């Protein structure tokens, strides 16, 4: 059936259900403007650019797809889901946080997740905190997962949103480092949508024993960044 073209100047009113408050909170927490200090970290992208692994739009998308599917993207999604389920259990959260700290492959990667996690907890205090009492140094996905669980935000939404935000942050670093234009960065983000959704879906029901990865080059990038001569980012 052929759609009818409306006359120029015609206005339409589209009625949509109002977003609920927890969803608005998730948008706030994962916004680039939320003060977690994410702009200071590149997740190894800075070294990958210097080494030539990332040199254009296509190589950036390939690099990030590997990180998401076989590296920290998948691992963080699993950690977030477990923290989401354990938000009311301080002992369980402490164990998940300890496991998440031990799972980091490099000193800078550990500093990155703890720096952002601790900053997130401090900034999100206005919304109230889950059972973090007595837990020192909370990795970023654990902090976001637990708070999302405490506010009844669906685990799937929190997981996909977290992966999307982390991907956008790495793209932002690459846009400045390669350099790439903003439009190229947005094309990369659009091209990774299916990967982001797949990782979020595939980690449903994953056990903590499933945390791991085979994204060795990205891990090496984080290790070698520690001694990189010229650095704009902290990882």
Residues 6+ apart with CB under 8 A from 64: 167, 170, 171, 188, 192
pLDDT for res 19? 60
Least confident piece of the model among 67-71, 132-136, 222-226: 132-136
pLDDT reading at 207 higher than 60: yes
What are the structural domain ranges in the chain? 40-225
pLDDT reading at 2 higher than 50: no
**Residues 149-182: tens digit of each pLDDT:** 999 999 999 999 999 999 999 999 999 999 999 9
pLDDT for res 25? 94
pLDDT for res 228? 87
Closest CA to 224 of 95, 24, 42, 32: 42
CA R_g for the chain = 19
Between 134 and 193, residue with greater pLDDT:
193
Closest CA to 96 of 108, 109, 113: 113
pLDDT for res 7? 55
Distance CA(233)–CA(1), nearest Å, equals 54
What is the share, in percent, of the chain residues with pLDDT greater than 70? 91
**Residues 32-69: tens digit of each pLDDT:** 999 999 999 999 999 999 999 999 999 999 999 999 99
The answer regarding whether domain 40-225 maps to CATH 1.10.3720.10 reads: no
pLDDT band at 9 (very low <50, low <70, confident <90, very high): low
Looking at every residue in the chain, the average pLDDT score rounds to 91
For the segment 107-119, the average pLDDT, to the nearest whole number, is 96
pLDDT reading at 147 higher than 50: yes
């Amino acid at each position: 059936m052929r759609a009818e073209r409306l006359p120029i100047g015609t206005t339409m009113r589209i009625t949509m259900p109002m977003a609920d408050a927890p969803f608005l909170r998730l948008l706030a927490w994962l916004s680039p403007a939320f003060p977690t200090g994410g702009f200071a970290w590149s997740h190894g992208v800075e070294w990958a650019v210097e080494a030539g692994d990332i040199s254009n739009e296509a190589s950036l998308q390939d690099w990030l797809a590997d990180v998401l599917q076989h590296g920290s993207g998948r691992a963080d999604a699993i950690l977030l889901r477990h923290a989401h389920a354990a938000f009311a259990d301080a002992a369980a959260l402490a164990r998940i946080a300890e496991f998440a700290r031990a799972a980091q492959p490099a000193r800078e990667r550990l500093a990155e997740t703890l720096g952002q996690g601790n900053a997130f907890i401090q900034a999100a205090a206005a919304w109230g905190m889950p059972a973090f009492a007595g837990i020192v140094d909370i990795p970023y996905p654990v902090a976001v997962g637990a708070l999302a669980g405490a506010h009844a935000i669906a685990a799937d939404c929190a997981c996909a949103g977290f992966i999307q935000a982390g991907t956008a942050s790495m793209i932002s670093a690459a846009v400045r480092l390669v350099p790439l234009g903003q439009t190229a960065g947005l094309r990369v983000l659009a091209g990774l949508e299916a990967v982001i959704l797949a990782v979020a879906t595939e980690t449903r029901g994953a056990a903590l024993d499933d945390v791991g990865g085979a994204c060795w080059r990205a891990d090496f990038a984080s290790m070698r960044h520690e001694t990189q001569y010229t650095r704009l980012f902290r990882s």
